């Protein structure tokens, strides 16, 4: 059963595990939790964040006391790794633009800088995205309908 933790409005929210709570490992087999893994221990952790619309007490159609969940939802997966008894978060290593496969999947020459919504594939350059918008409404990776294209500028002067 997932635990819901309410947050105030605004950016910069921080999560602290409430005392006496923890992650329910009951759905794992004991053997799976106690097997040594080669090299390092990896613990997958999935976090679901949802936004809720506020309740309107004047709404006469609202007989439900719980807030209505909006369709804006994000699921983030973090992997916690255990190295020499300490845990580190592999998601905090940041974006590495020096990996292979950084080129646009359409022209194969320009760096990719445009993400497709709702599937979130960052797979093409802005020029190819402009052309694709005129010719198709499907993601070139998964073929889902495109709702929006977002150009993401990455500062490489660090």
Whole-prediction pTM value? 0.38
Q: Are 151 and 113 in contact (CB under 8 A)?
A: yes
Contacts of 27 (CB under 8 A, 6+ apart): none
CA nearest 3: which of 13, 14, 64, 16? 16
- For the stretch 76-88, what's the b/e string if a residue is b when 16 or more beta carbons lie within 10 angstroms of its beta carbon? eeeeeeeeeeeee
For the chain, residues classed under CATH 3.30.40.10 are 99-158
Q: What is the pLDDT of residue 29?
A: 72
Sign of the dihedral defined by the CA atoms of residues 77, 78, 81, 85, in that order: negative
Q: How far apart are CA 51 and CA 68, in angstroms?
A: 9
Q: What is the pLDDT of residue 60?
A: 46
Tell me which fold the domain 99-158 belongs to.
Answer: Herpes Virus-1 (3.30.40)
Three-state secondary structure call for residue 32 = helix
Q: How far apart are CA 122 and CA 152, in angstroms?
A: 9
Region for residue 97 given its phi and psi (left: phi exceeds 0; alpha: psi -120 to 50; beta: otherwise): alpha
- E-only strand ranges, 2-147: 41-52, 69-83, 86-89, 114-117, 122-124
pLDDT score of 130 more than 50:
yes
Q: What is the pLDDT of residue 107?
A: 92
Mean per-residue pLDDT, 33-51: 61
Going by pLDDT thresholds of 50, 70 and 90, the confidence category of residue 35 is low
Going by pLDDT thresholds of 50, 70 and 90, the confidence category of residue 151 is confident
């Amino acid at each position: 059963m997932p635990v819901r933790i309410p947050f105030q409005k605004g950016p910069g929210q921080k999560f602290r595990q409430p005392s006496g709570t923890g992650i329910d490992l009951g759905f794992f087999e004991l053997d799976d939790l106690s097997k040594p893994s080669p090299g390092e221990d990896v613990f997958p952790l999935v976090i679901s964040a949802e936004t809720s619309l506020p309740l309107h007490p004047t709404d006469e159609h609202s007989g439900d006391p719980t807030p209505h969940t909006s369709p804006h939802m994000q699921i983030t997966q973090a992997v916690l790794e255990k190295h020499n008894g300490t845990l580190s978060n592999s998601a905090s290593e940041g974006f590495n633009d020096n990996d292979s496969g950084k080129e646009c999947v359409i022209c194969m020459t320009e760096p990719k800088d445009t993400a497709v919504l709702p599937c979130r594939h960052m797979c093409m350059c802005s020029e190819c995205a402009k052309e694709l918008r005129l010719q198709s409404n499907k993601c070139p990776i998964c073929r889902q309908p495109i709702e929006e294209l977002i150009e993401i500028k990455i500062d490489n002067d660090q």
